[in-house]
Structure 1
Amino acid sequence: MGEPSLRERALRHLARRDHSRAELARKLAGHGETAEVEAVIERMAELGLQSDSRYAEAFVRSRAARFGSSRLRSELSRRGIDRELIDEAIAGECVESELDRARAVLHSRFSAAPADAREWARQARFLQARGFAPELIRKLLKEPHDESA
């Protein structure tokens, strides 16, 4: 058996999981000319096998419960997704408000409200690393901690 063709390689990658156009181009780049790679990716998109929109929606759906909008935006843009597609995916998949998602993430990690400034900073850093906005973090950490959550 010889080397698999670009088309076969693209199909194998897409069979495992959705890939953004940029990811697929990067994975196929070492196996053919740029024009050939673009032609294969374009054909995959025509057949509906590759879709940046579907990729963005699936990405947001799988991570929205754990991360804030700014982190989702950052990761999707790093993967080569257009800003409009990112905005559509986040608007469509993030049904809960950002505050509710941040509250759920915070309560899943910390069982008690911050007792001192050091603990407040620790919880704030955790939420910030998850991609939540600083204003939202301040608002969330000021409210009383609900033990039933």
Structure 2
Amino acid sequence: MDDNQTNKEASDQEKLAQEKRDQDKCTHLAYGLLVRREHARQELYWKLKQRPSCKHVDLDVLLNQLEAENYLSDERYTEVAVRYDISKGYGPIKIAYRLREKGVNEVYIRRYLYAEDIEWSLLIATVRQKRFGIAIPNDLKDRVKQSRFLAGRGFTTDMIKNELSL
């Protein structure tokens, strides 16, 4: 019985040590991902969940800790992502879709996507002119082509109509 109990205690200690190593690896991995770029909470959760060292780690506790230390912030991620996508020429529909895919709260999406300092009319004009030139198309075929392109970029129907003066 003594040998059996000693083996069980050693096994328990080994298991606890392995859990601690996994926790440390997972925490280190999370910090590493956040150093490279901002992440949404849900996005980071999904990435960590796929890692073998994070399988048995309570990720909610880890993510709460990262938020408390201000390393992880959905609001900050949203602000950065909106600015980045605007710089790439995407409209509000596509940006909102991409943020929802990452699990970002709708409140943050609305706050940063519809901020007063975003000039959507200027952006859509710049995107259209970069692709098609300055001239507004006269024939229906070219208007449809440009409309489809702008819709694919995530601009609203109203924005497209205003840009093409339909």
Tell me which moved more, 67-76 or 48-57.
Answer: 67-76
Distance 1:88 1:8, change over 3 A: same
TM normalised by structure 2 equals 0.77
Is the 2:93–2:156 contact (alpha carbons within 8 Å) kept by the matching residues of 1? Answer: yes
Is the 2:82–2:113 contact (alpha carbons within 8 Å) kept by the matching residues of 1? Answer: yes
Match of 1:8 among 28, 40, 44: 28
In structure 1, the gaps of 5 or more residues are: 144-149
Match of 1:113 among 94, 114, 136: 136
| Residues matched between the structures, number | 141
Match of 2:41 among 16, 21, 28: 21
Is the 2:26–2:57 contact (alpha carbons within 8 Å) kept by the matching residues of 1? Answer: no
Distance 1:25 1:34, change over 3 A: farther
Match of 1:58 in 2: 80
Larger Rg: 2
C-alpha separation in 2, matches of 1:39 and 1:124: 47
Give the partner amino acid of 2:119: S
Paired-residue identity, %? 26
In structure 2, the gaps of 5 or more residues are: 1-20
Is the 2:78–2:104 contact (alpha carbons within 8 Å) kept by the matching residues of 1? Answer: yes
Q: Alignment partner of 2:114: what SS?
A: helix
Shift of 1:136: 1.9
